[in-house]
Amino acid sequence: MSEVASEVIREMKREFKVVGKSVPRRDGIGHVTGKTVYVDDISFPGMLHLKMVRSPIHHGIIRNVDFSEAEKVPGFVRVLTHRDVPKNIYTILCLIGVGPDEEPVLAVDRVLYKGEPIAAIVAETEEAAMEAVSRVKLDLEELPAVFDVEEALKPDAPILKPWGTNYFIYEGHHCRRVRFGDVEKGFAQADYIIEEVYNTSPIEHAPTETTACVAKPEPDGRYTVYTNTQALFFTMDNTALILQVPFSKLHFVGGTVGGGFGGKVDVITEPIATLAAMKTGRPVKFKYTREEEMRVSSTRSAWRMYFKDGVMKDGRIIARKVISYADSGAYNRHTPYAVTKHAANIAGPYTIPNVYIDAYCVYTNRQPASAMRGFGVTPASFAVECQMDKIAETIGMDPWEIRFINAYRNGDMRPHQKVVEDATLIEVMKAAAELVGHKLPEHLLKMHSWDREKA
């Protein structure tokens, strides 16, 4: 950074009240005294507890569910099944036009993952609810399950979706596609063809506070829902749609989240707890146990990414073909959107003239995947940067240099037809090199993001 630029920034900092300064946290006093109220800290007189009857198998037909022994448990109040849910089949991203609806709030006649909710039991105490859940007799017929994205796309795989495929359909296409230039022509011209496959695992967010809500009937006929969702209005809107009530019937209170990391943006506890409050006229708490949080809450999706790059001797990547598979688990949640983000980013922050991308959102019998910290893009970045190192190693070039040469600049066209604006990759790499004490050669230090040096 030049002397002038440093001076300008120093001056700007003097002017700002907040930018560049540490300010006390608004919620800090509550946190260090334990006075912050998290959802599980809330209770009301007469509050009931809800627990789920969950599928013990990965895939199967529900033949019968017998609640007769559960009903005898002292403290049992009632059971809720799919018949009680006004709009049982939903998909949370319907709010941004994703469809069709495909996930049941409570399973109807089939379960697609181990831990899928089949019925909700409401009881006077948490212990009674758990006891009653343990006494429900499930008669299930187990079906073959599939746990691998590529297995799921084979012709003999069990079909999990009513529309007859194990992939999400993007505007009539079997995957999210990006086509830019002519990738085959690029491969034909390239000095090197460099191929690799990258895999990432599902990751559980494991927030220290488990997913929870309390739904409370109010005297004016509305329902107040205290929740640790990360997406308050999104959750309220989905709850209203699932329960088929006007939005004005619901008052959602939230904002205090004991760790989320994307794991609390699904609409999981609120619709059923609110329904239970409607059906019983009493406040209802639904809090995941740690086991539920680990076993059935959404994870980051697992990805498999096949790369084929055409690279010139001078380090320029002139063609990139990527076939990616996201394991959405049994249902959509946020994965169709993650795949779109992935397709837009899997070429990386590099300018490549010929790009071909097929990114699939695949259903398997795993627990549903969903949002987590840059979901879709994070696995792309992992694969892209591993691939950059592999390219550097293969052609015998410094890994910094390969990134500087290919870094996108303002005005470049990205494969998904967006003109690059406000690029900062080169500046960020220079700053990173300085921070780790790596001395960059002069010709790289001369580069910058706002135009391209003459060849």
Q: Does the footprint of other proteins cover residue 38 (CB under 8 A)?
A: yes
Q: 11 by DSSP, 3-state: which?
A: helix
Q: Does the footprint of other proteins cover residue 206 (CB under 8 A)?
A: yes
Q: Does the footprint of other proteins cover residue 124 (CB under 8 A)?
A: no
Q: Provide the residue type at 108 as one letter.
A: V
| 76 close to 70: Cβ distance less than 8 angstroms | yes
Cβ proximity to other proteins, 260 vs 415, nearer residue: 260
Cβ proximity to other proteins, 41 vs 427, nearer residue: 41
**Largest interatomic CA distance in the chain:** 81
| Interface with other proteins (CB under 8 A), residue from 36, 165, 394, 424 | 36
Q: Does the footprint of other proteins cover residue 134 (CB under 8 A)?
A: no
Cβ proximity to other proteins, 120 vs 203, nearer residue: 203
Closest distance to other proteins from the beta carbon of 10 (Å)? 23
Report the candidate in 225, 240, 211 with the shortest Cα–Cα distance to residue 95.
240
| 364 close to 149: Cβ distance less than 8 angstroms | yes
Q: Does the footprint of other proteins cover residue 18 (CB under 8 A)?
A: no
Q: Does the footprint of other proteins cover residue 31 (CB under 8 A)?
A: yes
| 373 close to 408: Cβ distance less than 8 angstroms | no
Cβ proximity to other proteins, 29 vs 445, nearer residue: 29
Cβ proximity to other proteins, 294 vs 433, nearer residue: 294
| Interface with other proteins (CB under 8 A), residue from 208, 422, 436, 454 | 208
Q: Given the rule CB under 8 A, which of 256-264, 341-349, 374-382, 421-429 is the region that contacts other proteins?
A: 256-264
Cβ proximity to other proteins, 263 vs 415, nearer residue: 263
Q: Given the rule CB under 8 A, which of 86-94, 183-191, 205-213, 411-419 is the region that contacts other proteins?
A: 205-213
Which residue in this structure is represented by tokens 């199967």? 60
Q: Provide the residue type at 51 as one letter.
A: K
Closest distance to other proteins from the beta carbon of 386 (Å)? 23
Closest distance to other proteins from the beta carbon of 31 (Å)? 3
| Interface with other proteins (CB under 8 A), residue from 43, 134, 189, 201 | 43
Report the candidate in 200, 183, 161, 154 with the shortest Cα–Cα distance to residue 336.
161
Q: Does the footprint of other proteins cover residue 258 (CB under 8 A)?
A: yes
The residue count for the chain: 455
Q: In angstroms, rounded to a whole number, what is the distance separating the alpha carbons of residues 293 and 283?
A: 22
Closest distance to other proteins from the beta carbon of 211 (Å)? 12
Q: Does the footprint of other proteins cover residue 230 (CB under 8 A)?
A: no
Q: Does the footprint of other proteins cover residue 45 (CB under 8 A)?
A: no
Per-residue tokens: 78? 């009632």
Q: Does the footprint of other proteins cover residue 257 (CB under 8 A)?
A: yes
H or E, element range at 12 = helix 3-15
Strand-pair partners of 304: 199, 325
Four-residue CA torsion sign, 117, 119, 121, 127: negative
Q: Does the footprint of other proteins cover residue 296 (CB under 8 A)?
A: no
CB-based contacts of 428, cutoff 8 Å, min separation 6: none
Cβ proximity to other proteins, 30 vs 441, nearer residue: 30
Q: In angstroms, rounded to a whole number, what is the distance separating the alpha carbons of residues 10 and 21?
A: 12
Closest distance to other proteins from the beta carbon of 205 (Å)? 7
Q: 163 by DSSP, 3-state: which?
A: coil
CA within 13 Å, CB half, 226 = 18
DSSP 391: H
Binding residues for other proteins, total number by CB under 8 A: 31
Q: Does the footprint of other proteins cover residue 40 (CB under 8 A)?
A: yes
| Interface with other proteins (CB under 8 A), residue from 49, 54, 59, 205 | 205
Cβ proximity to other proteins, 258 vs 374, nearer residue: 258
DSSP 167: B
Strands of 85-175, DSSP E: 89-90, 103-104, 110-111, 117-123, 137-142
Report the candidate in 420, 426, 194, 424 with the shortest Cα–Cα distance to residue 318.
194
CB atoms within 10 A of CB 55: 22
Q: Does the footprint of other proteins cover residue 20 (CB under 8 A)?
A: no
Q: In angstroms, rounded to a whole number, what is the distance separating the alpha carbons of residues 51 and 126?
A: 8
Cβ proximity to other proteins, 24 vs 396, nearer residue: 24
Q: Given the rule CB under 8 A, which of 77-85, 206-214, 377-385, 419-427 is the region that contacts other proteins?
A: 206-214
Cβ proximity to other proteins, 27 vs 66, nearer residue: 27
Angle between helices 232-243 and 270-280 (to 10 degrees): 50
Q: Does the footprint of other proteins cover residue 24 (CB under 8 A)?
A: yes
Q: Which residues bind other proteins (CB under 8 A)?
A: 22, 24-25, 27-38, 40-41, 43, 205-210, 257-261, 289-290
